[in-house]
Structure 1
């Protein structure tokens, strides 16, 4: 590239882009080189060379030379469509170069006519040496595992027996990863434990690569490593003119001989197809955008990938009615797509990442169409902390990367440069803190007395009691609560970490057994507690969180990294089956009403009221649906009545849901729906109570959702409150001035306690010598008249009428 006047190269990793940017700057000077990645942009006034990640390449720039590294990633299901687009369309004016594996040669020959191929053979040999115990690995070895728990367990074992190990994972920031690699390269440690992140972008002096597993979870399903993946990782050994070896750890079955032969000879079957996604998107409407993303490839050798992360986030955002309403013109739709493309560095579910993106999009489509400074500051302030453990720091780094990416969308922030600098500083601080944590845990050569007693060739033995107590060689470590391990702290930090990591290896089979037990358990083994957590064997194993609908909450498994992803998915699937059945059984009238198909009787108006009832778990203030009620025809009212819906004076509700079990579940669903926004979790109503003291500050929506109304510090069940109100209105029409005490039993209150109730129901009330005196308020009657509740008509009775004679006989 540097042999041309101008040039551009795209790398698969931000880490590689930064490393090569520094090299080109040293050769050509900072003013001649631009760095462009999703999270970092350094663009001088007149750059001649552009060092980029593949996704961030400004392919509209006219350059003499253009190159794309690791072009075989066009076959990657997640990112392949971007590499394929560069292969098909990105060109240098004079020279274009694609660097990659031989496996993509046939497809490039087919898709890019006239291309020339230049082969660079590997000079060093790579030889399979079979299995070796972790404690017998040679110096300058890298051990590769495919789960965080395995990486930590192996690194801890090596620390105890060999003095320490560097740790490399994809979740680490480039700064942390480089610092860990430096520990290894500088000779501070002779071993490295890594995930498959070691396979690309890192050049180190590794002599031997040991696989601690030959299968991995690829984000979709667990599967065995293919030959090309194994070669990419094993190829870290040797390099250049130095031969290398690869093998497996002692507890892993041997590698298939065919794969060994392919890795050693570096011969692999060609790729069958590359992933392709349409880039000529239409922004005339949301449906047009979605359709243009689903267009089929235009030629053979290309295939459309499953919906990628940005598509899933787009769909999740559009489930929000407000977002859908805002996306009405091409500019707003284009912005929606740009927001959906903000990467989910936190690796959350699409729905979870979409919640933040919905807030971003909402701010960008109102006021000055920039993100409010105070809102961004509050979001960033939450992650600007260096306390916590390794996982907390990695989570914050991932969250910081999201905001770094957003800050490089200059039009989204008034002070984009300022936020770019701030997020970079935060990431650097967090990265340094994470490197320090990793070094303390896996490279600290000072040994506490507990580790000294357990030093030896054998792995620490862990025992788990029936009550969840975890012990290692008689030393109490903590308890396994449900699916989470709670360590006991001894005050010896290094010893704590060492023993806990050793115990983690023993917890994996226990968690596997618990997973099997949960999946096989009957429905009576599960329940929901007062905090809307799913309980199994008296231990919380999951928590309900906001879902797409009030009756369809999402499930978040309460676990840590020790639970494998596949087991988490199996547990979540089983709990989802139970939850759907539980809601369907306890709230059957409401679920049945929502599932009634549209007919001539079940009109859109009927379904609209049912929907509002469902979103409020069976009760809604009448004022909220009054316009719809006024528009209902008689058949529609009859349909709603058959569905078990009652129209009270102040509330529309379902009397069948006023029993103890439905009330409890309604409260739990409210807690789940407001988990992220509610400051405190309100207490569920006591079972079977018509009234109970309402805690100060309890949200009104929670009371309504449970089927209660709070009046003067007391909660009253809606069905009984409506019956009491009906009695009071009937007596008022009959000109009764004093409420008979017998009616107070409906609410279980005294005369004094009924005064605020009557007042809330629209009466003047007081207790005097005659008893509980009450009369309707005129303003209340006028309000009801305006709402369509006219008072009974005044009937004039003639003096000679039989009714007049009858009235004279009845004592007043």
Structure 2
């Protein structure tokens, strides 16, 4: 193992100025690099260095973000993103005790063993590393740093008795949100800091705490990695965390790393427990207060010299164990498992014929899993990216841009915004792999802009969720103006003294933070009264003017992109029940007028989407009346070969009359033309699902033949232009196409072979059922070649269906 005399270890507890020391040391050299454990901390250090030497001399390099001026001399990076291929006079790595971390330890150990500055190398971290570092690098220097303030345990505190400027520590997002909500109820609000937040969201949240908008912050253990905040007390809500392998108790050194965030510079700090946290032992308390922790005895390690001659050899080199007992092969095999999975796929395996392709697969396998438990989403993206690059040399940038644009949706819950941010971080990472992309600036800028938009939205959502400050602002505004001015802006937002307090969605009034705003009874009465007046004016304009109502595929009703209500199951298909979204702000008489107006408009729409049931009243012909009755009863489709429908024959002129009214007569069926059109198909399916099933089901794919549709009723299939044949459904237009082709010439015997199957792209089993349905009988043949005859339709002598309109008409004649 190499021993370098220019190697210096700067060891000590938190609040000793180690990172500051490394920054100052680096700036004494013409160039240098500092590797940091978190993107958030890298951004913080980057800004400090920029303030000292200017933007043109500093580069920020993380997995998801790169600011790299060509004149940069100083590189601030995450440890994983350190440019080890470059040569620097000065190299520093922070939090080197993470060599013992289950998840990332092998990366830190690789930097410890293999990355050196030309003149000086600094590794910063906890003094729990001192013994193992001395044994591994006996010729190195150790610079010990002492904490500049005292850290004391103040016992267990309830949330109500937590001192101001406290950070409450939790270890998963659900607990963070739950505790923040409780503090909001008791203390007025809390900032939230988690590793999954973008730097922008994190900085915005921290600013609220630093500026005194809130006196409390709820954070994960990411706060322990060098983030500098004005914290006086660190309070643990738990001392257990999931480390990627198991749910375990934190080590004393890990607790000390977090508790040490309290008390900065010469100001003393405190730590405590809260809520249901298990009590700290006297030994743990003493260890934290005196910074005396159990020495680290081993480091996680993985071979860095990899063999890319084959996937087998690559995996073999990754599994290699060190001959040094202090270096333990990493147990975190996420990237290795990803490699194994991807290389097992046939689509990937066919491309692993050269070292460059195998190396690319390994690089892609090491992409951080920002999606965590959503394995399919992550692996599918990796497969597509790999195939893109191998097949064309570069990533399909238009596709990547399209995927990124989909993320610019600022609606949804905190969890949904956080997920979109995670996906944006993935595309940020990809856009910074310049050798994978061609002309990647558009993707890079779009990903950064998307992150900015989502970060702003998430910060606002977190603030709205966990900080109750609006009531104070509104009351202050009221006291200044002595009056309340309520109005609606062009975006349908409700403004109170020029501040948005809510929004009108159709006829539904939504007051933002109503619980906070309406705590004041005067505000509640005055705002409610004025909003009612405005809504009545809005409703009057709606009732007395022409409107265009849009029905979407979910059965929702929209006017000018504003949802006003939805359709539900009514007494029949063509008369669905209309629900208008409203609350107590709209009076009953106005609601009924709106409902009458909407009913009239929906009736017109329904007749276009389905058919006009009033058609028979416009035609003075009993046979046509009966035919239309049967057509409507069968939801728009009548089987002309069914003997039940053969009681009456329509003349050519009668058919022409019906054809003018958009009724099609085919070889096998008559049907409304609207049912076979693509227009409104999704709405017909939605309304049909509601009528027959009471809920909107997933619409079948747009194919000529649907299989395994036993749970879908024949009448519902009619509404989207299908007829049911046994356990399959066939587009009526497709069936007519087949029938026309078969009956183009009359034959005594019909012959069907592979050419016929190929022409219509159907299997022999489907053809068999279709021919049986059309009245054929098979007389000979195999699955590939068969001979059929057409049976004549016998006179229907069974007991008549007395409800059949043809039967009724026949009796009248």
Give TM-score scaled by structure 1 length. 0.59
8 Å CA contact 2:93–2:124 kept in 1: the answer is yes
Equivalents in 2 of 1:90, 1:314: separation in Å?
A: 26
The structure-2 alpha-carbon separation of the partners of 1:491 and 1:295, relative to structure 1 and needing over 3 Å to count, comes to: same
**CA deviation after TM superposition for structure 1 residue 269, in Å:** 0.7
Equivalents in 2 of 1:234, 1:140: separation in Å?
A: 13
The structure-2 alpha-carbon separation of the partners of 1:698 and 1:395, relative to structure 1 and needing over 3 Å to count, comes to: farther
What corresponds to 1:193 in structure 2? Answer: 218
287, 310, 314: which is aligned to 2:339?
Answer: 314
What corresponds to 1:50 in structure 2? Answer: 75
What corresponds to 1:106 in structure 2? Answer: 131
What corresponds to 2:321 in structure 1? Answer: 296
**CA deviation after TM superposition for structure 1 residue 307, in Å:** 4.0
The structure-2 alpha-carbon separation of the partners of 1:751 and 1:441, relative to structure 1 and needing over 3 Å to count, comes to: closer
Equivalents in 2 of 1:420, 1:379: separation in Å?
A: 13
8 Å CA contact 2:401–2:443 kept in 1: the answer is no
**CA deviation after TM superposition for structure 1 residue 154, in Å:** 1.5
What corresponds to 2:153 in structure 1? Answer: 128
1:688-718 CA-partner distances (Å, limit 9, x unpaired): 99x999789999xxx9xxx977667799xxx
380, 390, 408: which is aligned to 2:404?
Answer: 380
What corresponds to 1:494 in structure 2? Answer: 513
358, 363, 383: which is aligned to 1:333?
Answer: 358
Equivalents in 2 of 1:398, 1:676: separation in Å?
A: 30
1:375-429 CA-partner distances (Å, limit 9, x unpaired): 1122112212211111111111110111111111112222212221111111011
Residues 132-531 of structure 1: pairs in structure 2 closer than 5 A: 132-367=157-392, 369-446=393-470, 491-494=510-513
Equivalents in 2 of 1:222, 1:678: separation in Å?
A: 44
Equivalents in 2 of 1:385, 1:28: separation in Å?
A: 38
Counterpart check, 1:753 vs 2:774: yes
Counterpart check, 1:65 vs 2:65: no
**CA deviation after TM superposition for structure 1 residue 320, in Å:** 1.6
The structure-2 alpha-carbon separation of the partners of 1:432 and 1:286, relative to structure 1 and needing over 3 Å to count, comes to: same
Counterpart check, 1:91 vs 2:116: yes
**CA deviation after TM superposition for structure 1 residue 47, in Å:** 2.5
- Secondary structure of the 2:201 match is helix
8 Å CA contact 1:7–1:64 kept in 2: the answer is yes
1:505-525 CA-partner distances (Å, limit 9, x unpaired): xxxxxxxxxxxxxxxxxxxxx
- Secondary structure of the 1:247 match is strand
Equivalents in 1 of 2:516, 2:345: separation in Å?
A: 44
8 Å CA contact 1:88–1:112 kept in 2: the answer is no
1:491-545 CA-partner distances (Å, limit 9, x unpaired): 454357999xxxxxxxxxxxxxxxxxxxxxxxxxxxxxxxxxxxxxxxxxxxxxx
746, 767, 772: which is aligned to 2:790?
Answer: 767
Aligned residue pairs total 525
The structure-2 alpha-carbon separation of the partners of 1:697 and 1:407, relative to structure 1 and needing over 3 Å to count, comes to: farther
Equivalents in 2 of 1:188, 1:683: separation in Å?
A: 61
The structure-2 alpha-carbon separation of the partners of 1:435 and 1:688, relative to structure 1 and needing over 3 Å to count, comes to: closer
Equivalents in 1 of 2:223, 2:461: separation in Å?
A: 20
1:560-588 CA-partner distances (Å, limit 9, x unpaired): xxxxxxxxxxxxxxxxxxxxxxxxxxxxx
1:403-461 CA-partner distances (Å, limit 9, x unpaired): 1111111122222122211111110111011101111111132359xxxxxxxxxxxxx
**CA deviation after TM superposition for structure 1 residue 305, in Å:** 1.1
**CA deviation after TM superposition for structure 1 residue 253, in Å:** 3.3
* Structure 2 residues not aligned, in runs of 5+: 1-25, 473-507, 519-697, 735-749, 752-767, 796-813
Equivalents in 2 of 1:767, 1:708: separation in Å?
A: 23
Equivalents in 1 of 2:403, 2:56: separation in Å?
A: 34
Stretch deviating more after TM superposition (94-103 or 758-767): 758-767
What is the CA RMSD across the aligned residues, in angstroms? 3.9
1:354-380 CA-partner distances (Å, limit 9, x unpaired): 11100100111113x112233112211
1:317-339 CA-partner distances (Å, limit 9, x unpaired): 12321111111111111111111
What corresponds to 1:80 in structure 2? Answer: 105
8 Å CA contact 2:302–2:329 kept in 1: the answer is yes
* Structure 1 residues not aligned, in runs of 5+: 449-488, 500-674, 716-730, 733-746, 773-812
Counterpart check, 1:7 vs 2:32: yes
Give TM-score scaled by structure 2 length. 0.59
Equivalents in 2 of 1:756, 1:55: separation in Å?
A: 72
The structure-2 alpha-carbon separation of the partners of 1:696 and 1:189, relative to structure 1 and needing over 3 Å to count, comes to: same
**CA deviation after TM superposition for structure 1 residue 62, in Å:** 1.9
